[in-house]
Amino acid sequence: MLYFLQITTTLLVAVGMALALAHALELPGKMRLNKEAYFAMQPIYYPGFTIGGGIGEFGGLISTIILLLFTPYLSAKFWLTLVALLGLIGMQAVYWLFTHPVNKFWLENEKLSDFSSGFFSFGANRSKLNNQTHPVEWTHLRNQWEYSHVARAGFSIISLIALLIRH
């Protein structure tokens, strides 16, 4: 049973890493886009990346916590699993602090399902992004979104490597 949990955890974390890495690898090309092309491109990620991220990231996080609970305390496997968990927590922190608020901005005019609409409005303070007195430059939002995915990819790669070494 523990072996199945290890494999499942590694696969879920790999899905989350693949999505974050895909975003990071797009960065050089997307940084060359003008405002109109960039804005037109952003909605293509939804709902695919949202569904995959929910399964990979949330599933990987929960599975890693469970795996840690079943790992002998203070063993080498425990520390590697803890490193993986901390990487996944870092990935979530970057998402909720930097990526998520900008996602709400990109999806402002998109028709979303009730679930997606609720998810993307959760905790997203639009007033900071849409301040008419001091409007945020679109390149600032682009940079925040793009570089947050590079950081997320880094955290997820660390998590995946830790889980692979753990085996």
Question: Which of residues 144 and 114 earns the better pLDDT score?
Answer: 144
**Domain residue spans in the chain?**
2-97+138-166
Banded pLDDT at 7 (limits 50, 70, 90) = very high
Query: Residue 23 carries which side chain, given as an amino acid letter?
Result: H
Whether pLDDT at 127 is above 50: no
Quick one: pLDDT at residue 161?
98
The mean pLDDT value for 137-151 works out to 95
Q: What per-residue confidence (pLDDT) applies to 123?
A: 60
Distances (CA, A) of 124 to 12, 75, 96, 99: 26, 40, 9, 10
pTM for this model (two decimals)? 0.85
| Interatomic CA distance for residues 164 and 167, integer angstroms | 6
- Indicate whether 92 pLDDT > 60: yes
Amino acid at 164: L
